[in-house]
Amino acid sequence: GQSLEQPSEVTAVEGAIVQINCTYQTSGFYGLSWYQQHDGGAPTFLSYNALDGLEETGRFSSFLSRSDSYGYLLLQELQMKDSASYFCAVNSGNTPLVFGKGTRLSVIA
């Protein structure tokens, strides 16, 4: 089977940095994706890591350690609009994405 673990909720202050962790157990692994979903909205793609290391895209960065079956999403200079749910998802080969349960991020003033 496949499973992903991520914190259910995180609260952070506007302007701060927050890290959302994700650990996974899968029978195969190609890469780890991150998606953002605002309430009532569609999931939107943030990043994909196939190799170990840090991928940076503007205020968002994503990290992967394949040996530790672990990754994280780092959000810098938090803005109120970043309040949303964040999902990690595993691409384990010819099967489509398996999503975690999501982390609800609340950004407060």
Partner 1 sequence: GAGVSQTPSNKVTEKGKYVELRCDPISGHTALYWYRQSLGQGPEFLIYFQGTGAADDSGLPNDRFFAVRPEGSVSTLKIQRTERGDSAVYLCASSPNPPGLAGGGSYNEQFFGPGTRLTVL
Q: How far apart are CA 107 and CA 28, in angstroms?
A: 35
DSSP 31-60: EEEEEEE-TTS--EEEEEE-SSEEEEETTE
Stretch binding partner 1 (CB under 8 A), from 14-22, 30-38, 68-76? 30-38
Contact by Cβ (8 Å): 108, 14: yes
* Shortest reach from residue 57's CB to partner 1, in Å: 9
Contact by Cβ (8 Å): 60, 44: no
Residue 100 interacts with partner 1 (CB under 8 A)?
Answer: yes
CB-nearer residue toward partner 1: 30 or 70: 30
CB-nearer residue toward partner 1: 13 or 50: 50
* Sites for partner 1 among residues 77-96 (CB under 8 A): 87, 89, 91, 93-96
| Max CA pair span of the chain | 43
Give the interface with partner 1 as residue ranges (CB under 8 A): 30-31, 33, 35, 41-45, 48-51, 55, 87, 89, 91, 93-102
